[in-house]
Structure 1
Amino acid sequence: MTGALWPLNSTMYHIQTAEAKTYAGTLASQILIGLHQPTPLMKVSSLLKGIVKNVYEVISIDVQDVNECSHAELNACSRSELCINLEGYYKCIWEHEYMDGNSSQLQKECKDLSAIRDHRIVNVTSSSFEVSWSVNSTLNHTFQVQVYKGQELLASMETTEMEMDISELEAGIKYTVKISYEACGKNIISYKNVKTGKYHLRNVAFFAI
């Protein structure tokens, strides 16, 4: 994976490997990627697409932003600072500079800004799949779901639910699903790559006339 992310300066940490739920008989591994410079998730996802294309054993790669503010070991903010989670990185600011004039409840929601989690794609067929996700938030959010074929945007939809059926796709094609929502002036994003199944012809008889 470090080779796929070149020229980015990256470090890999294996978290766990378990049986996958998307495809029967497959495994899913969770890997924490540390980057030494802020990098958009779309760029990381794009670089890792090469693994799906070139390594037969890899079916899909899901890239999600880690909320460093939710893990004390992943941020260096002091007790007198607020940790603000941003895409690909975080920052520490003094509390009096943070959202001056807003309610304490909104400040708490923004401090605990939730990443998109459990971003899954299941029931993959040759022309459709189902996508679902979750966020740890007490607020109601409107999510934007975008489907890409390479760099081409095929569909863009909005929903207040945390699941959606995607259909009318081509067989054997790799797609990228982008889930995003706005909160506290920030855009929270998650990407997942998936390849639709291929058509299979069985018991087809050909007759010569």
Structure 2
Amino acid sequence: MPHLTSRAIPVQAPLRDQVADALRAALIAGELRPGVVYSAPALAAELGVSATPVREAMLDLTREGLVEAVRNKGFRITEMTDRDLDEFTDIRTLVEVPTVGRVARTVPAEQLERLRPLAQEIVTSAQKHDVLKYLEADHRFHLELLSLAGNRRLVEVVADLRKRSRLYGLGDLDESGRLVASAREHIELLDLIVAGRAEEAEECMRRHLSHIRTLWADGSARAEDGGPALR
């Protein structure tokens, strides 16, 4: 049973949601490994809460496809296959690439510029090797950008895909500078959209999603091999 990094849950917080967030963070950090079965009481002891909110949180993660229940034992962290990664990337490409083009053609530049601080936050977080903040800012940037197309259901679909395709066990991949390179693509993408260069923005988004696919694969491989945790 790994030690979960400094994620004791405040008593006043909504336990179910806070525990779910803590477990998602542990997945990303590589502290919880794909294919391994974890019991609710053991995780509860690590987080300093009772087993009940852990079981409730695990049910939420089960619905997101991140874990699966193992009868009389606990929950197994779902393993991502190459086919899973390819299918998630294919769907996101089909949805996000043309949507970015539409946004570039129709949304005023001053409205798009409101995303600039988020794009910069992604880069800053990557430079500081803070992968959790990087992912949080990345999540907000992509969904807020897509929301400018005016289709709520589209945003919901992409948000669900992002949950199901979380970066498991990134470990120290950021040390190679690859996360910084991926982060800077957000600024490049925003510059192209603000300039109304729709076709180039679509190509940039397609390239960005391809790079994310590679990071998914490498992060999952390190998690399965027991690679180092983030912190």
TM-score range, shorter chain: under 0.3
Q: TM-score, normalised on structure 2?
A: 0.23
Which protein has the bigger helix share? 2
**Structure with max Cα Rg:** 1
- Structure with bigger strand share is 1
